[in-house]
Amino acid sequence: MIQKVPSKSANRTGLITALDVGTTKVACFIARPLENGAAEVIGVGHQVSKGIKNGNIVDMVAVEDSIRTTVEAAEQMAGENVRDVVLCVSGGVPKSKLISFDVAISGHEISDVDLKRALDPTWLYSQQVDDRQIIHTVPVAYSIDGNPGVKDPRGMYGEKLGVNMHVITASAGALRNITACVNRCHLDVESQVVAPYAAGLACLVEDEKELGVISIDMGGGTTDISVFFDGEVVYTDSVPLGGNHVTNDIARGLSTPVAYAERMKTLYGSAVPSPSDDQEVIKVPLVGEEDDGENQISRSMLVGIIRPRIEEIYELVREKLEPTGFEKAGARRVVLTGGASQLTGVRELAAEMMDKQVRLGRPNYVKGLAESVNGPAFSAPAGLIQVILKQRAAAAMTSSRSLEVPSGKFGRIGQWIRENI
């Protein structure tokens, strides 16, 4: 995957700083890479997000203040000062496009140079429209002389190298806005990662990514979709609905303050009914009334408000997936993650509506997370760390190949010249 090269300060410290600026919360993880290829989180900061609605910035000053406070909390816990951050792109309407092209090899052995030439996205940048910016270029599959299924073409021979590439773009204006907010906090953006890709990497196991799986990240303002197949992400999209819309439905339907609607959703809410719902009574304070102004409703009424909105989210997810054919590529498996996925009954309703096996996903591969920040709501920042670890591992492998001693008389002569002249 082609990404921006990390800055010198990031390389010097070796730390990875993941920043997720979402609709409901801002989270920052500072992680130290370990020798076994994993990472340990040494600093965490998170707080309620301000200035963002449905994934889009509506108040840059409020967003800037939220970012600064969150990063400072993580720095204080880690005992480190950071300069570069990996930014999670949750807005900007991410879009996917699969493209295929061939590169002439002329019969010689395919090397790192050939692969780098094939994956060079420069020509893609010249074709992108003004209002979209390329975030990721992910090679999904290779073929040699029309023979598909090649995982790594290096060392093989052929006339033509075929590449299937997954290009992910986002709104250029939205990216400039969030980058400006980060820069105003005296931070540099080392790399950008779309939220559905990050969340999927954090909570999916390798077998799921190989066999095919749909990851649904249910956030506060948006629900992000990613499909993994043959070990790579092959599709991403987003639906502009999330947990906040459920909360607002409760507040409007019961004429109660938004803060209490959120509390009701968390304590009593469910997306599926139960036999005892009619007997269970909930006290509901009315908006604008004094302390004694309250109403009483049955739990079944609350479920009746929540369920239609969750159904609408899943319907929109299906509408996004069906025309692409990726619903079949996702096999029989769906993994739910994100804060809104923790609502009671959401998993069961997803299994019913999408006719697939559904499980709840949480960060798998990052060590050092406390229980309070190791849940589905923190999948995206944990996934950002995974992306950088993956990039660094690929860069190290390419570097080690270039340092291998060449075989043959002329190869050894060239090696001697490079070392001594």
For residue 1, what pLDDT is reported? 40
For residue 410, what pLDDT is reported? 45
Q: Which residues contact 289 (CB under 8 A, 6 or more apart)?
A: none
Copy the structure tokens of residue 355: 């006719």
Q: Which residues contact 58 (CB under 8 A, 6 or more apart)?
A: 51, 52
At 179, phi and psi to the nearest 5?
-65, -40
The stretches in the chain having pLDDT less than 70 are 1-13, 121, 123, 125-130, 291-293, 329-331, 398-421
For residue 330, what pLDDT is reported? 63
The yes or no reply on domain 95-171 and CATH 3.40.109.10 is no
For residue 104, what pLDDT is reported? 86
Q: Is 48 helix (H, G, I), strand (E, B) or coil?
A: strand
Q: Is 132 helix (H, G, I), strand (E, B) or coil?
A: strand
CA-to-CA dists, residue 378 to 19, 270, 342, 366, 372, angstroms: 11, 21, 12, 11, 9
**Whole-number Å distance between alpha carbons of 70 and 250:** 29
Residues 397-409 pLDDT 10s: 766 555 454 444 4
**Whole-number Å distance between alpha carbons of 254 and 60:** 32
Copy the structure tokens of residue 269: 């809410």
Q: Which fold has domain 205-363?
A: Nucleotidyltransferase; domain 5 (3.30.420)
Of 168, 176, 159, nearest to 198 by C-alpha is: 168
**Whole-number Å distance between alpha carbons of 223 and 196:** 9
At 34, phi and psi to the nearest 5?
-105, 165
Copy the structure tokens of residue 417: 């010249």
Q: Is 242 helix (H, G, I), strand (E, B) or coil?
A: coil
Of 193, 202, 196, nearest to 175 by C-alpha is: 193
For residue 25, what pLDDT is reported? 93
Same fold, 95-171 and 205-363: no
- Contact by Cβ (8 Å): 92, 135: no
Cross-strand partners of 47: 26
Domain ranges of the chain: 95-171, 205-363
Q: Which residues contact 362 (CB under 8 A, 6 or more apart)?
A: 203, 337, 374, 375, 376, 379
At 156, phi and psi to the nearest 5?
-95, 165
CA dihedral 142, 145, 146, 148 (to 10 degrees): -40
Tell me the one-letter amino acid at 16.
I
